Structure 1
Amino acid sequence: MKKILLLSFLGISASAFAQTEALKLKVSAKADALEQKVISWRRDFHEHPELGNQEKRTAEIVAKHLQSLGMEVKTGVAKTGVVAILKGGKPGPVVALRADIDGLPVVERVNLPFTSKVKAQFNGQEVGVMHACGHDTHTAILMGVAELLASMKNDLKGTVKFIFQPAEEGPPFGEEGGAELMIKEGVMENPKVDAVFGLHINSQTEVGKITYRPGGTMAAVNDMKITVKGVQAHGAYPWSSVDPIVVSAQIINALQTIVSRNLNVTENAGVVTIGSIHGGVRSNIIPEQVEMMGTVRNLSKEDEQMFIERIKTIVTKTAEAAGATAEVKIPFSVHYPVTYNDPALTVRMLPTLQAVAGAENILLRPAVTGAEDFSFYQEKAPGLFIFLGGMPKGQDPLKAPSHHTPDFFIDESGFTLGVKALADLAIDYLNKGK
């Protein structure tokens, strides 16, 4: 009786609730049946990884699978992306589900039957290629979700758009790519997306668990280039120079005061890192110019803007105080917004995640200063990005190999939970309406 009253209060009829629950039982059974298929896809992609904007083989496999399911499929989106539309049997909103498909220039060190031996060209160099961030997992899981939902499309109240995105790790230098280019090419329109969901495997979260965070969950990223110009002189006579190396050192130290003195660290984290510095050709010449490259990370738009303004002021004024000049280009070549989980959508979908994994396995996570271009989709529609456990049970997270490393490893037993989670998020959103 209490459940009926609660459903009535929420505007959900008992029959509609029963239909949804029956549908989700079907999802669970079908996801279990698809487990080996998803694992097989993942192993194939893992053995044959492709770098950003080069994912032709991966895209072809994905497209053929989606076409076999009777979907409307578009290929060549943002160079190598694939987008498919599944129209449900009943009218309703539009949900987008996204997976990234690219690998990384990393030589694999894990001894597996399907270890990657692939080599490719990356920015003019021959490199090893590896799915060292789990995008092979994301692709296989979403292929499983597509097959599952297509088998029950007549029961869906709305439309599901499947987005298989290239170049999440960034396109080759000088090229466009990734989520930003997909959006430019209209992936969030025709039909217009009402909500977007995505997941990321995590090698340091135990299998069977899902983590999430409302609001800023992954950082905005801006890269920067700083050019400091001084006056060249003999190294024995520094008073004849305006030394850009000394000025650069002062700038590097001063930039760290943004985090320690300008950022409210009780609310959000932030990072300013100088990762590259070049100046001079020999020990006894003070050079005329120094170039530095760095990255900036923030967890809110307000902090991001504050950091940019402070960086520009510190760089130019520190140089001016020393008699030098300095120029800042920020962003220089890369900008991702904050990966921002819409708070209302997160609250709305949390019961779905708790039902599929068990409330004890849905954990609130701290924000991280890594970045994800899923954030571009969240600027166009409310979005929720979750993290799926991929670490073997009982392993110490501090000892588990991290992402983007040669020893990165994922336990395949967690894939079915990912299929169920994405499928149930789509079904529950569609059935509840906008």
Structure 2
Amino acid sequence: MSQVGKEQVWQQAQEILPWLIEVRRDFHQYPEIGLEEFRTQEQVMRYLDEMGIPYTKSAGTGIVGLIQGARPGATVALRGDMDALPILEAEDREYRSKIPGKMHACGHDAHMTCLLGAARILNHYKAELAGNVKLFFQPAEETVGGALPMIKEGVLENPKVDAVFGLHVSSEIPAGHIGVKYGQMNASSDDLSIIVRGENGHGAYPHSGRDAIVIAAHVITALQTIVSRNVDPRRAAVITIGMISGGTANNILAQEVKLTGTIRTLEPSVREQVKERIQEVAALTARALGGEAEVTYEEGYTSLINHDALVDLVKRNGEELLGEQHVRINELPNMGVEDFAYFAENVPGAFFHLGVRNEETGCVYPVHHPNFDLDERSLAVGAAMQALNTLVYLKENEQR
């Protein structure tokens, strides 16, 4: 790895840990929802300016930094997402969110911090780099998805990206550990909307109308048979109805009920099968009860599929940096979604989990929880891992 070894990377990551904690806490106190990350963008640009790293804006509130090595070579991209969640933070810690109803409950404050830490380490050694490093500060992962807009704006070109790495915090993995997953890591998603229509009538004379609430209840129940009876049990699928609304008064049969939910699948063929069956089951169940159902979908994120050769690289680096016992190999994919998938769909990519759990300090709550927090020592691990992933990849792909 040129003249830079893992010991140097680890030492520098430990030396900048106080700075990493300060950066993370600043992000944490001023969370911003997707496509509203204006202050966050300004802060990231300020840090890059301090490092002397050039950058351009992307996808509105996103940023692409560029570290150019002294010699030609491959180009590695590192990604950190920027947005927060509409959650009221519960704990009254000193760095609690100052924006009521908004919180970095998914750890994106840590993701940005690890990326800045990796940038600081890599920029320190840029005279020894053969190749380039792109820094993707991506907006709106939790909402509309910022990865695709960045890709459409050309962030994977000029210079062309050869490999991309990303990480996500995990409160299931102890701090000081990482988790890797070969192949498929996350599911695809589709938003589901069903309008069930009946006919108004007096609640005391139910035979005078068609109760859309009763019809909707049967539709919801029937939908559950799709996963249990239509999808091969050796394959995964989830259908969740998360919201139901309808009716105008307690003594009037509802004329219309709206159901909204989410579909999660791992395979394209299962994704299409589930969508087709939802259409059939909803329409025919409603018709059998004298009503009708209109189904619409809004396509969500694609599946995240890691490239095994890059997962091998992350695993090897984790074992060398942290010790073999501190690297967890996850056997099962996650039914959650992650728009890093689009980067990995266009160029070889590897996404891994950064352990942040510490039971002694109460860092045990899952992401998207109002009590979520992380062991901040993990910031040095994340920064070191991303710097090491980059250095090793560039060294192994150095032009001779």
TM-score (norm: length of structure 2): 0.93
* Match of residue 102 from structure 2: 129
The one-letter code matched in structure 2 to 1:298 is: T
Partners of 1:26 and 1:395 in 2: CA distance: 29
* Match of residue 378 from structure 1: 344
* Match of residue 390 from structure 2: 426
* Match of residue 325 from structure 1: 292
The aligned runs of 1:165-180 (5 Å cut-off) are 165-171=138-144, 178-180=146-148
Q: Are residues 1:232 and 2:200 paired?
A: yes
- SS of match in other structure, 1:330: strand
Relative distance call for 1:356 and 1:303 in structure 2 (3 A) is: farther
> Bigger CA drift: 322-331 or 204-213?
322-331
Q: Are residues 1:86 and 2:67 paired?
A: yes
* Match of residue 54 from structure 2: 72
The aligned runs of 1:3-402 (5 Å cut-off) are 19-20=1-2, 22-75=4-57, 77-119=58-100, 128-171=101-144, 178-266=146-234, 268-331=235-298, 335-365=300-330, 366-392=332-358, 400-402=364-366
Is the 2:209–2:253 contact (alpha carbons within 8 Å) kept by the matching residues of 1? yes
Partners of 1:317 and 1:32 in 2: CA distance: 62
The one-letter code matched in structure 1 to 2:309 is: A
Partners of 1:47 and 1:349 in 2: CA distance: 31
The one-letter code matched in structure 1 to 2:346 is: K
| CA apart distance, 1:150 | 0.7
Aligned-residue identity in percent: 40
Partners of 1:427 and 1:65 in 2: CA distance: 22
> Any stretches of 5+ residues in structure 1 without a counterpart?
1-18, 120-127, 172-176
Is the 2:79–2:165 contact (alpha carbons within 8 Å) kept by the matching residues of 1? yes
- SS of match in other structure, 2:287: helix
Is the 2:20–2:117 contact (alpha carbons within 8 Å) kept by the matching residues of 1? yes
Q: CA RMSD in A?
A: 2.0
Partners of 1:249 and 1:276 in 2: CA distance: 12
* Residues 198-217 of structure 1: CA deviation (Å, up to 9, x unaligned): 01111232111101211221
Relative distance call for 1:162 and 1:22 in structure 2 (3 A) is: closer
Is the 2:180–2:315 contact (alpha carbons within 8 Å) kept by the matching residues of 1? no
| CA apart distance, 1:348 | 4.3
Relative distance call for 1:192 and 1:22 in structure 2 (3 A) is: closer
Partners of 2:216 and 2:162 in 1: CA distance: 47
| CA apart distance, 1:381 | 1.3
Is the 1:231–1:287 contact (alpha carbons within 8 Å) kept by the matching residues of 2? yes
Is the 2:76–2:132 contact (alpha carbons within 8 Å) kept by the matching residues of 1? yes
Partners of 1:396 and 1:144 in 2: CA distance: 25
Partners of 1:296 and 1:194 in 2: CA distance: 32
Partners of 2:263 and 2:164 in 1: CA distance: 26
The one-letter code matched in structure 2 to 1:367 is: P
Partners of 2:279 and 2:349 in 1: CA distance: 32
- SS of match in other structure, 1:409: coil
* Match of residue 407 from structure 1: 371
Is the 1:110–1:409 contact (alpha carbons within 8 Å) kept by the matching residues of 2? no
- SS of match in other structure, 2:161: coil
| CA apart distance, 1:309 | 1.7
Relative distance call for 1:420 and 1:115 in structure 2 (3 A) is: same
| CA apart distance, 1:186 | 2.0
The one-letter code matched in structure 1 to 2:175 is: V
Is the 1:353–1:425 contact (alpha carbons within 8 Å) kept by the matching residues of 2? no
Is the 1:209–1:389 contact (alpha carbons within 8 Å) kept by the matching residues of 2? yes
Partners of 1:337 and 1:112 in 2: CA distance: 36
Partners of 2:198 and 2:117 in 1: CA distance: 59
| CA apart distance, 1:23 | 3.4
> Any stretches of 5+ residues in structure 2 without a counterpart?
none
| CA apart distance, 1:402 | 1.6
TM-score (norm: length of structure 1): 0.86
Partners of 1:193 and 1:263 in 2: CA distance: 38
* Match of residue 123 from structure 1: none
